């Protein structure tokens, strides 16, 4: 992206900022008060000047001008840059993988759905790492169902109070096993089913516990030439890579499930799992829609803006999420050979949805919008209309075609409003 384009984007967002701030003040919502939030920059005038790397052009190279050149050259090149500098390299499918259907209830949720629990075993050992999928497929349909697939934070039994769900998985960073249905507010299972979609979910901690030494117990260990060692090459994958890899393995299973339409699987993730969904969707083209809910730094937000959470801070607090080399950029985002708009562009021409929340300044809503906007040239090259606007929309007003965007009133969360937009977006793109 050249300087004038970058400046244009910045100017248009400069105007929008006023509207958002105004909205937040009107709602009287609390701004983040924790110490970490206080040290972060939330002042738009202190956002440094920056130039975004061009999604269509290698530094000092010629711009890619055809869909074929994008596909054959630029796309693989960008993927490699994200592997080398941000998320680390993802290995292939797996050494030995086995699907075991644990339970099927064709009469779940009062007859609305068929509930299935399927365990994917990795590495050939029954007590090795495994991913436990919970699947609800709508009943009374004639064809395989399109599906939403997303990892959950606290265990499958937290997405719905359904007593038939096996209690499995803990609470991520929390120790105690949370109650049944305790995250159900974020998973409108009945609504999803009523709209004709299946829901597939799994606890992210099955793939790797979310803590600095979680690698010892997760899938990354299966692939290391030196298991147990604390030495990681600079481009060895981090936990986000491992979680994303698990989503692809879930997809491997879904391709074999007769209840699921493998050509209409939408990937969804919130926050760190939104970062994960974007990285999984960038790598694996079997995901036909990718949805990032409040994914922020290392997700949909531009790193170069250093607004809210920064590369320095995310690497310090979550050293296990990214590859070791990413830590070099905490002291200089402008040296990063990529920025997050290029991650969004890697999903093109497939539909992608980026959602922000007005009070979630930590995730830099404006940086998320800007990244979506700056991914547009790739969609355009591939003949797909993107956002269709140059300025962020008002609160609670969804925009876009192949790139969807909204900024919802309220906090960092997944709400019914968010889901209503995602269901509409999927209806439109899956031709329902």
Residues 6+ apart with CB under 8 A from 258: 144
CB nearer to ligand GTR: give 57 or 412.
Answer: 412
* Beta pairing, strands 130-138 & 97-108: unpaired
| Shortest distance, position 320 Cβ to ligand GTR, whole Å | 13
**What is the C-alpha to C-alpha distance for residues 38 and 420, in angstroms, rounded to an integer?**
33
| Shortest distance, position 297 Cβ to ligand GTR, whole Å | 5
Residues that bind ligand GTR (CB under 6 A): 271-272, 296-297, 309, 314
| Shortest distance, position 358 Cβ to ligand GTR, whole Å | 17
CB nearer to ligand GTR: give 152 or 271.
Answer: 271
CB nearer to ligand GTR: give 316 or 397.
Answer: 316
**Structure tokens given for 248:** 């692809």
CB nearer to ligand GTR: give 117 or 210.
Answer: 210
- Any catalytic annotation for residue 271? yes
CB 337, CB 315: distance < 8 Å = no
Show the beta-strand stretches assigned E in 260-416: 260-270, 289-293, 352-357, 403-408
* Sheet of 403-408, strand order: 97-108, 113-122, 130-138, 198-203, 145-152, 260-270, 289-293, 352-357, 403-408
CB 223, CB 236: distance < 8 Å = no
| Shortest distance, position 273 Cβ to ligand GTR, whole Å | 7
CB 347, CB 377: distance < 8 Å = no
CB nearer to ligand GTR: give 131 or 239.
Answer: 239
| Angle at 278 (CA atoms; ends 275, 280), nearest 5 degrees | 105
Residue 56 CB neighbour total at 10 angstroms? 20
Could you tell me the end-to-end alpha-carbon distance of the chain, in angstroms, rounded to an integer?
36
| Shortest distance, position 296 Cβ to ligand GTR, whole Å | 5
Which residue in the list 12, 182, 184, 412 is annotated as catalytic? 412
**What is the C-alpha to C-alpha distance for residues 116 and 98, in angstroms, rounded to an integer?**
16
CB nearer to ligand GTR: give 40 or 219.
Answer: 40
| Shortest distance, position 363 Cβ to ligand GTR, whole Å | 7
Which residue in the list 271, 292, 295, 303 is annotated as catalytic? 271
- Any catalytic annotation for residue 85? no
Q: Which residues are known to be catalytic?
A: 271, 412
């Amino acid at each position: 992206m050249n300087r004038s384009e970058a400046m244009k984007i910045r100017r248009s967002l400069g105007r929008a900022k006023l509207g958002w701030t105004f909205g937040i003040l009107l709602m009287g919502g609390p701004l983040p008060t924790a110490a970490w939030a206080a040290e972060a920059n939330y002042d738009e005038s202190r956002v440094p000047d920056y130039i975004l790397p061009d999604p269509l052009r290698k530094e000092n190279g010629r711009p890619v001008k055809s869909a074929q050149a994008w596909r054959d050259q630029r796309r693989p090149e960008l993927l490699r840059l994200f592997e080398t500098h941000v998320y680390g390299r993802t290995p292939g499918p797996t050494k030995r993988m086995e699907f075991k259907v644990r339970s099927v209830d064709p009469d779940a949720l009062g007859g609305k759905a068929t509930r299935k629990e399927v365990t994917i075993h990795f590495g050939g050992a029954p007590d090795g790492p495994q991913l436990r999928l919970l699947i609800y497929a709508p009943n009374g349909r004639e064809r395989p169902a399109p599906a939403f697939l997303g990892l959950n934070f606290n265990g499958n039994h937290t997405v719905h109070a359904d007593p038939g769900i096996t209690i499995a998985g803990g609470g991520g960073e929390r120790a105690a096993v949370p109650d049944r249905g305790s995250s159900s507010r974020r998973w409108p299972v009945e609504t999803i089913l009523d709209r004709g979609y299946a829901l597939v979910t799994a606890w992210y901690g099955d793939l790797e516990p979310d803590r600095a030494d979680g690698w010892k117990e997760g899938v990354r260990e299966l692939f290391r030439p030196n298991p147990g060692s604390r030495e990681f090459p600079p481009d060895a994958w981090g936990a986000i890579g491992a979680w994303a890899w698990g989503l692809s393995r879930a997809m491997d299973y879904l391709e074999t499930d007769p209840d699921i339409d493998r050509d209409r699987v939408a990937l969804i993730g919130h926050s760190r799992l939104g970062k994960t969904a974007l990285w999984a969707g960038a790598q694996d083209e079997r995901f036909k829609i990718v949805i990032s809910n409040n994914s922020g730094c290392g997700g949909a937000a531009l790193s170069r803006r250093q607004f809210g959470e920064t590369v320095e801070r995310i690497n310090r607090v979550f050293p296990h999420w990214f590859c070791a080399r990413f830590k070099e950029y905490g002291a200089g985002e402008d040296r990063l050979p990529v920025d997050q708009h290029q991650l969004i562009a890697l999903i093109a021409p497939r539909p992608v949805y980026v959602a922000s929340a007005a009070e979630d300044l930590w995730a830099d809503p404006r940086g998320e919008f800007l990244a979506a906007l700056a991914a547009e040239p790739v969609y355009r090259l591939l003949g797909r209309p993107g956002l269709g606007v140059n300025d962020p929309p008002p609160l609670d007003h969804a925009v876009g075609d192949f790139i969807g965007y909204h900024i919802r009133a309220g906090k960092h969360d997944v709400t019914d409003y968010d889901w209503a937009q995602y269901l509409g977006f999927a209806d439109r793109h899956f031709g329902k």
